[in-house]
Amino acid sequence: MDIGVLLPTGTAQWDPADDPRELVALGRLAERSGFSSLFVNDSLVSPRIEALSMLAALAPATETVTLGTAALMPFLRRPVQAAQSLASIDLLSGGRLTVTVGAGFPGRFGRPLYTLSELPWDRRFARLDETVGLWRALWDGADAFHGEILRFDGIPPTTRPFRADGPPVWLGGATPAALARTGLMYDGWLPYPPDPADYASGLRDIRRAAADAGRAAEDITPALFVSVRIDDDVEGGRRALEGYARAVYGMPLEELEKIQAVVTGSADQVRQRLGEYVAAGVRHIVVRLGALGLSSQRDQLERVADLIPAVRGAAARASFTPGS
């Protein structure tokens, strides 16, 4: 059972006096506190530290934690250059990189970014899958790639990653098409369904698709992206999380909870709710800390760290039969 944390790289999550260089120190604190991974997200919607730059800074500053994206949007980058950057981070971290990818969403989180990237919105999922296929080919030493959308010949030698097969690539998303594509070609799944039952059913669909493709269930890491806030004053905690939802997403908490996994309450309440996702099959939890300001983020980090042994114990006790 792995439990990681999403670092607050967006300026909307900082206090005015916060120094962004403290993010590296926060990552080191998370590693010392027992978290097994550090993730960063990727967007042009609001100012933030660019995702791959953040991971490159964390690579020499940490020793054992997985470094991941949640989620990287490949259409924001030239595909060959992105393969080079990801391989470089994998090298610098000694093979600790995991890449979660996504194609963006309708509205301000998607179509306008494609316009800025000078790419069509149509066939975005096919472009995403081909981009991942191109990366894997380049990491394996290919000098050409011929897809339906991406076609390259005469590619000069590119940086090879630390691991011979390159970093694992996970997919975000929970539509039926995303579930089928995860089972067919991705190494992990990182959704954020509000209901653990939806997670369990999605994971069953992925494993069926994997079996149909001749893949083993163990080839795909079942992960979860979840916003967490622990507070002894439960109502006060919800008010703080309300402020977080409005600052980061521009929407009330009530609306955010309808579309994303959000867990808040006392330590026991949070432990029990995370345990429901563990029972649904989750084996890598990526926690986004529901707090504004790096000082409050550190406080929440320490509170969640106290739950790590209990959540891992729940995973050890959970019985999950692949394909069930």
Query: 16: which residues sit within 8 A by CB, 6+ positions away?
Result: none
Q: In sequence order, what DSSP letters do the residues of 177-191 get, joined into one string?
A: HHHHHHHHH-SEE--
Looking at residue 118, the DSSP 8-state letter turns out to be T
How many domains are there within the chain? 1
Domain span at residue 201? 2-317
Q: Decide if 34 is inside a domain.
A: yes
d(CA 116, CA 47): 15
pLDDT value at position 108? Answer: 67
**DSSP label at 257?**
H
In a domain, 52, yes or no: yes
Rg of the chain in Å (alpha carbons): 19
The pLDDT value recorded for residue 320 is 46
CA distance linking residue 266 with residue 235, whole number of Å: 10
Report yes or no on 208 lying in a domain.
yes
Contacts of 312 (CB under 8 A, 6+ apart): 1, 3
In a domain? residue 233: yes
Q: What are phi and psi of 286, to 5 degrees?
A: -110, 110
82 located within any domain: yes
Q: Answer yes or no: is 146 within a domain.
A: yes
Give, in order, the Cα–Cα distances in Å from 139 to each of 84, 148, 160, 301. 9, 20, 5, 35
Start-to-end CA distance of the chain, whole Å, equals 19
Residue 105 pLDDT: 79
pLDDT at position 112: 86
Query: Distance between CA 37 and CA 34 in Å, rounded?
Result: 9
**pLDDT digit of tens for each residue in the chain (324 aa)?**
999 999 999 999 999 999 999 999 999 999 999 999 999 999 888 899 999 999 999 999 999 999 999 999 999 999 999 999 999 999 999 999 999 999 987 776 678 889 889 999 999 999 999 999 999 999 999 999 999 999 999 999 999 999 999 999 999 999 999 999 999 999 999 999 999 999 999 999 999 999 999 999 999 999 999 999 999 999 999 999 999 999 999 999 999 999 999 999 999 999 999 999 999 999 999 999 999 999 999 999 999 999 999 999 999 998 544 444
Q: Is residue 323 part of a domain?
A: no
Name the β-bridge partners of 171. 101, 189
Residue type, 185: M
CB of 322 closer than 8 Å to CB of 54: no
Residue 322: inside a domain, yes or no? Answer: no
Give the domain CATH number at 14: 3.20.20.30
